[in-house]
Structure 1
Amino acid sequence: QFLVVAATLLDLKTARLLPQADVEDEEDLALLEARDLLFARLMQYRAFKQVARFVADRLATEGRRHPRQVGLEPRFAALLPEVIVSVGPDELAALAARALEPRPEPMVSLAHLHAPTVSVREQAHLVVDRLRRERSTTFRALTADADLMTTVARFLALLELFREGVVGFEQATPLGDLHLRWTGTDDADVDIDVGDEFDGGPVEEPTAPTTPEDDDV
Structure 2
Amino acid sequence: MSPEEAAAPEGAGEPMGIGALDAGVRAGSGGREGAEQEGPARLPGFSVSLPQFEGPFDLLLSLIARRRLDVTELALAEVTDEFIAHMRADWDLGHASEFVVVASTLLALKAHRLLPQVDGEEDEDLELLEARDLLFARLLQYRAYKRAASALSSMAASAATAHPRVVALAPELASLLPRLVATVGPAELARIALAAFNRPDAPGVQTVHLHEAVQVGEQITVLAQRLRAAGTLTFSELTGDAERVAVVVARFLGLLILHRQGSVDLEQGEAMGEITVTWCGGEDDPAGIMAPDMDGLGEEFS
User: Which structure is richer in relative contact order (CA contacts within 8 A, separation 6 or more)?
Assistant: 1
TM-score (normalizing by structure 1):
0.38
TM-score (norm 2): 0.28
